[in-house]
């Protein structure tokens, strides 16, 4: 498993207080919203705040493109890498 993906899984569990879920139980390509992990819009906001604090990622507006980045852990990792490169 990718190190950044592992960090994101841990961040999801901690930020959303999912005590009954182990980070390793989240598949990198499992949908985070809807039928996958079952997160909702409030979870998305909390996750966005946690990503900003941990990785300095700022999300100015919610677009279809941003929603696609939040589809699963793998797409979030790609998004973080692309944004970190833009800030360096």
Each residue of 36-82: pLDDT tens digit? 999 999 999 999 999 999 999 888 778 888 889 999 999 999 999 98
| pTM (2 d.p.) | 0.89
Task: Tell me the angle at which helices 73-87 and 3-15 cross, rounded to the nearest 10 degrees.
Answer: 110
Mean pLDDT of 22-28: 96
Per-domain residue ranges for the chain?
A: 3-87
Fold for 3-87, please state it.
1.10.1200
pLDDT for position 1: 58
CA dihedral in degrees (31, 32, 38, 40; nearest 10)? Answer: -130
The angle at the Cα of 77, spanning 74 to 25, to the nearest 5 degrees, equals 50
pLDDT for position 86: 52
């Amino acid at each position: 498993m990718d190190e950044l993906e592992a960090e994101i899984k841990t961040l999801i569990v901690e930020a959303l207080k999912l005590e009954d879920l182990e980070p390793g139980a989240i598949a990198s390509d499992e949908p985070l919203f809807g039928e996958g992990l079952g997160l909702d819009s409030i979870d998305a906001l909390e996750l966005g705040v946690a990503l900003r604090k941990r990785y300095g990622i700022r999300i100015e507006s919610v677009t279809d493109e941003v929603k696609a980045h939040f589809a699963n852990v793998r797409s979030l990792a790609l998004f973080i890498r692309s944004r970190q490169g833009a800030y360096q």
